[in-house]
Structure 1
Amino acid sequence: MGKDDESPPNTPSHADILKDLRALRRPGLVHLRDAPPPALRWAAERRGLCAKDDEVPAGVEELLRQAVRRLGEDDDLGRAAAYTFGLVAGFRGAAAQDRRRRAAGVYGIAPETFRRGPEERVLKQLAEAVLALSREHGSGRGPRAAPDPGPPRNAPAPPETFTTTVADAPVPFVLHVSPVELLRDIDILVSSENVYLEMSKTFIPTLSGSLRSAAAIRDAAGELVEDVLANELATWVRRHHRPGLQVRPGTVVPTSSGALAGQGVHRIYHAAVAVPLRDRDGYSVAPDDIARAVRESFALARAERDEFDPPLSSICFPLLGTGRGRVPPEVSARWIAWAVHEELQRDPRWTVHLVTRNRAAAEAVADLDLGAGPTARPSP
């Protein structure tokens, strides 16, 4: 056995993990089985993600997904790391230069500029995240405690039904821990947008970007043919004379579902709740605008319900404002729950879903005890 085939010591260093990440960047995930990186394999085993040789490629890939989540999927570092290693839908088998170009796009710079500086910073921070994850479980090799509670690779967790109480009345939700683009057989998916109704780019792994990519019509080679959601939103903006202008926060605009119709999704509702900050990058989201968006979504759903056969009957909300709007998940859920409570009092026939990619956020939502509700009642 050559030196390169030897297992790393029980505590590989940051430098060992960084070396493996550099070596893996060019071949990508599809070549993990050809030459499993030793330090990353050790970290995956310690994390409890693999025990046998056949499990190593999947275990290392899941380890990298967990490390990206640790960096933050809504953070530039996390997004760039996800593209660098093909952890974004549609990029798993992409060529190294294509992955680098998308990662560079997160920072708005050229690929060569990204290669000369930011890429190394991304790799170093990802190595820090891998090292931290490996230290959270046990001290020896082999499978350890249960792996990260996030959703398993390429498969969402099964939905969980929970009931919270608002104003002494039960409000049932079906809670999904899943990428929104993997949901099936829900009539209406609600997306969070900014008040200019400008969707995220298809290569940005935000809620908006993920839905835009999933709904796009593509040819047999995977090339984009029609950017359905962005095109329909742009048509609405022109029709309502709002190009370059804000809409009222809480405004909801309906579009078709494009390619998501094949998953039993009929409509996408775009809730404009994120107001760009003037003095720095990011958005502000007011809780009462979350409630307004929920009410407007139900109003649209009632108006459109009988246009479909069978009629629309289910609607799914993300935890509005919890991405770059920095609203805590439990705060978003409280305001959604109060607004949903009011709507179900009016018409109890709807099945209401919530979706989040983050299991910690899901647990915070499932444990909600609304009691007296939010600090201020949603304004009408």
Structure 2
Amino acid sequence: MRMRNFIAIAVLLVGAVAGCGSDSSSEPSVVTSTAPSTPSGVPDLAAGQEIAQDINVPWGLAFLPDGGALVAERDTGRILRVVPGRAAEQVYEIPGVVARGEGGLLGLAVAAGYTETRYVYAYFTAAADNRIVRFRVDGQPEVIFAGIAKAGNHDGGRIAFGPDGMLYVGTGDAADGSRSQDPASPNGKILRLTPDGAPAPGNPTPGSPIYSLGHRNVQGLAWDRSGRLFAAEFGQNNFDELNLIEPGRNYGWPIVEGKGGTDRGFADPQVIWKPAEASPSGIAIAGDTLYAAALRGERLWTIPLRDGTLGTPQAALPDLGRLRTVAMAPDGALWLTTSNTDGRGDVRAGDDRIIRFPAR
């Protein structure tokens, strides 16, 4: 792939946009950050460089120990290896991917002990459900968790290993909000699993994979330097959310959308947007900043983070179209994927692309 310098892109940092409008498509989305580390370097958003193009709906993105990344193509089931300065190459294809609506090959995560195990994890839509597999690129996939209901939308799909070595999973309600409040359903939840796919020890309910509930469609997971988990969630018609996730808490969907549920025992989000401004998918944290990739909002939100509290969002990079995944590389660079070929965007020459913003 040829590389294109994006220094010429006008990086526009503006205040939070006050817009309105409903998200009737409810597409939006959150890998994500797939890495719990928070490099101290601040990404240079004025020095972006295209490192891959013509990718088919890039969704999951996970870094390898050598600094390269694995990227999931939602609609093809292919997994590509992307290294700056080289052409993207296919290294694996997940069998049985059914790509319809918002479903397909979604989140990726590299095992915390990858050097020893060589395991890669993937969340995808199959014929009957959404499921998680692990595999080595020279072997067959092994299903470690299945039975997550699927639908044309709200399939969730973000997976990431936390600082505790457990696998966290963001799921959607599969277009049925009642699942989000059902303790017997894995939908509309954040799940916490062992690397083998079992309910992790220390979960709020012993023997249950559920870490938090009352979510509509989680597609972004990231940890700050103190190990606090944040998640991005698509709203319906009124408010998208960024939540500080605490074990056992209920985040209100479908009873509450946005703020206003604390008097009923629900956890309020720290940040809300109108869906037209955001529809946030992947998130990442570097130092004292949280980055949120916006699909419908077509921008990158940068949000100050202090002691577990999020400040006022600022908008950046308004010229790239729909943004799906943002992730921090081991070297402190910020990687960003566009999502203009997902059926809802305006496709430009070279879409979809992956852009790298180095640390200053």
Given the two structures, how large is their TM-score scaled by the length of structure 2?
0.27
Which one has a larger percent strand, Structure 1 or Structure 2? Answer: 2
Q: Bigger radius of gyration, 1 or 2?
A: 1
Q: Higher RCO, 1 or 2 (CA under 8 Å, sep at least 6)?
A: 2
Which one has a larger percent helix, Structure 1 or Structure 2? Answer: 1
